[in-house]
């Protein structure tokens, strides 16, 4: 039995959604392109864990002082408007997908079908383009575990539906979007949006190595924010001590951490080599060569 709900009944009247009530599985269709012939089917939504945990206490080594491009001062009214924009869009997407603005885990046992354009997907993402070729007959692409609101945001950006994209994001949502962008390899398609989000982020400076530093490192790596990446990479270089120090869960940051840790090891070896050379030089020299040339008075 199919039940068709009016968009007006769900408040978010610019996002038509169809909810199908099946015997065991609830299915929601979210129309990004009503004329699209492809459906991106998200199974087990919101089960990917993009948080991380530090397992080893560390001694904090702050980096050299430098201007912080993350902190942006804004008027109270502007802050409230942007926060409201993000909150409203997230609340309405929750209502559309899960039937409630504050969903619990049980509410998320749903299959979310996002109707999209194959042309837009092919242009934006080589991963999606490849999946389209593999499922040409079924006209379906299956993804698993991603945050549904973050995936909807990425697909809305790819389709140029800017009115459906929040003007600002919080730190957690930024990481979820970055994880999807990294997986789909569509950073170029969201480049302007990510630059805009960076310009509006309201955050305290990342001054020491912690979980927020690593999450910021990941987002700045995905979106190619060079200044922010360099700042966080310095903190990691000074404090990171190998993969046993952090539990990454589903966050694909191991590649970056391995490279930075490799640089740290190379630098340490260079320091030890220089110290050994200095020790050898001092042990073989007899007195100070320069001092021997100074006449006694």
* pLDDT-flagged residues of the chain (< 50): 1-14, 16, 19, 21-23, 66-75
Please report, for the chain, the start and end positions of each structural domain, with discontinuous segments joined by +: 2-284
Q: Write the CATH number of the domain with boundaries 2-284.
A: 3.30.710.10
Instruction: Note the maximum CA span of the chain.
Output: 109
DSSP H/E element including 124: helix 118-124
Closest CA to 208 of 83, 91, 68: 68
CA Rg value for the chain: 26
pLDDT in tens, 24-42: 578 999 999 999 999 999 9
Residue 137 pLDDT? 73
pLDDT 10s digits, 138-193: 799 999 999 999 999 999 999 999 999 999 998 899 999 999 999 999 999 999 99
Nearest to 248 by CA among 262, 238, 234, 258: 258
Confidence at residue 126, expressed as pLDDT on a 0 to 100 scale: 96
Closest CA to 241 of 57, 68, 66: 57
**Euclidean distance between CA atoms 267 and 233, whole angstroms:** 14
């Amino acid at each position: 039995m199919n039940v068709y709900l009016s968009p007006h009944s769900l408040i978010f009247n610019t996002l038509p959604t169809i909810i199908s009530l099946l015997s065991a599985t609830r299915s929601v269709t979210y129309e990004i392109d009503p004329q699209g012939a492809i459906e991106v089917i998200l199974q087990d939504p919101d089960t990917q864990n993009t948080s991380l945990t530090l397992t080893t206490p560390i001694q904090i080594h702050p980096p050299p002082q430098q201007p912080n491009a993350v902190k942006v001062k804004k008027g109270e009214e502007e802050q409230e408007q942007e926060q409201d924009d993000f909150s409203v869009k997230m609340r309405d997407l929750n209502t559309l997908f899960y039937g409630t603005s504050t969903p619990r885990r049980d509410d998320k046992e749903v299959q979310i079908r996002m109707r999209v354009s194959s042309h837009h997907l092919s242009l934006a993402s080589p991963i999606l383009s490849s999946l389209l070729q593999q499922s040409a007959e079924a006209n379906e692409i299956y993804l698993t575990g991603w945050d549904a609101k973050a995936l909807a945001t990425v697909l809305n950006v790819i389709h140029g539906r800017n009115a459906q994209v929040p003007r600002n994001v919080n730190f957690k949502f930024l990481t979820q979007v970055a994880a999807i962008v990294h997986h789909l390899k569509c950073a170029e398609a969201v480049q302007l949006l990510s630059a805009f989000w960076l310009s509006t982020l309201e955050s305290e400076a990342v001054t020491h190595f912690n979980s927020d530093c690593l999450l910021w490192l990941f987002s700045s790596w995905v979106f190619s924010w060079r200044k922010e990446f360099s700042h966080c990479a310095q903190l990691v270089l000074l404090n990171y001590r190998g993969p046993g120090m952090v539990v990454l869960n589903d966050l694909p940051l191991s590649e970056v951490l391995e490279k930075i840790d490799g640089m740290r090891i190379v630098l340490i070896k260079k320091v030890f080599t220089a110290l050994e050379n200095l020790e050898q030089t001092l042990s073989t020299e007899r007195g100070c060569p320069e001092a021997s040339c100074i006449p006694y008075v």
